[in-house]
Amino acid sequence: MDQRTIATIALSNRDFASLEKKLKEAVSWIALAAAQGADLAVLPEAINLYCGDGPGNTKQLAYEDVAMDDWQTAALPLIEAARKYRIAVTVPILTREQHPTNNESWITNCFYLVDRDGITAGHYQKMYPTPEEMDWHVRPGPTRPDLIKWDGLQVGGAICFDTCFQEVFDAQAHADLFLIPSLWPGGSQLDYFARRYHAPIVLSYPAWSRIIDLDGRELAAGGYRHETLRFGFGTPIYLATINFDRAVLYGNHNQEKIIDIQRAYGSQISVTFDQPNATFLLESRSRHVSVQEVIKRFDLIEHHIYFDQCRESCNTHRRPKNADAHQGD
């Protein structure tokens, strides 16, 4: 069993008087999330937008004005909060990058994952900026982003418009968890991506944040669409405790062994059927037994590995294109 409590914080995108005030509010919610047992807090996209520009949020168009040359200095309150409250935190921020040998500069829309010691575990750069962002000199991130290593997990990312492109998730197909700072609701495709890649998804969006489990079920959701929250009651923090010691198994090859697994491990292992999709979820319920141990002992095959093997086998035995046309040659 490997349980983590994740918090998504629907930090308001109203026009804050300054970045300092916005960060102060973010820190207050991070502290409250930590007090509720959260191991990780995820914030919405581009925290340095909507700060100090008066009514109308006009500064959202001035990326050049808000991009930071030194994100760690700009976001120091968030880093200090991670250390103080012993919680990992995303720092979603617009930064300015300078070419090392000439005067060329560009803007990146990215998030950094800072661990509970205030150390940067890694970052993700938005792979698909919108056309408007491209006009504002936002540079697309690499098409093969590195997964972020956090506390034994492989963490993938996406930012806002990225969620419209399946290749973003394909490029990080082996992630254990996807974090998505956003300024749009992400759409129903997030349920599909969680199920397809068998990884929970955490969307942080001011109006409606979501935590989606690896089977596409919504574990938590909320934001400023709630009139109660808009009227100043409650908090924009939504939490879910997720067990990451799980595996999705397709029925073929595996299903005949289910009873033997249950007899061998009893309450230490949970088996949950998803009959319409011919799969079952194998989950460790004990710190003394890991799912990988069970998989190895009973020669089970995880869902994605099984289908990779099937695909490879079919491709190997598939007739070459136009093979019939050459039979009479």
For residue 318, what pLDDT is reported? 80
For residue 211, what pLDDT is reported? 98
For residue 58, what pLDDT is reported? 44
* Mean pLDDT (whole number) for 130-134: 93
Q: What percent of the chain has pLDDT over 90?
A: 80
User: Using one digit for the tens of pLDDT, what is the confidence trace for 99-119?
Assistant: 777 777 889 999 999 999 999
User: Using one digit for the tens of pLDDT, what is the confidence trace for 190-207?
Assistant: 999 999 999 999 999 999
User: Using one digit for the tens of pLDDT, what is the confidence trace for 268-314?
Assistant: 999 999 888 899 999 999 999 999 999 999 999 999 889 889 999 99
* Mean pLDDT (whole number) for 199-228: 96
Is the model's pLDDT at 1 over the cut of 70? yes
For residue 323, what pLDDT band results from cuts at 50, 70 and 90? low
- Tell me the two tokens of residue 276: 């319409």
Number of residues written out for the chain = 329
Q: What burial class does residue 318 get, using C-beta atoms within 10 Å of its C-beta: 0-12 exposed, 13-18 middle, 19+ buried?
A: exposed
Is the model's pLDDT at 56 over the cut of 70? no
- Interatomic CA distance for residues 308 and 315, integer angstroms: 11
- Interatomic CA distance for residues 157 and 121, integer angstroms: 13
Location of structure tokens 């168009």: 61
Which stretch of DSSP H or E encloses residue 194? helix 189-197
User: Using one digit for the tens of pLDDT, what is the confidence trace for 28-44?
Assistant: 999 999 999 999 999 99
Strands (E), 104-165: 105-114, 120-125, 148-150, 153-157
CATH fold of the domain at 3-243? Nitrilase/N-carbamoyl-D-aminoacid amidohydrolase (3.60.110)
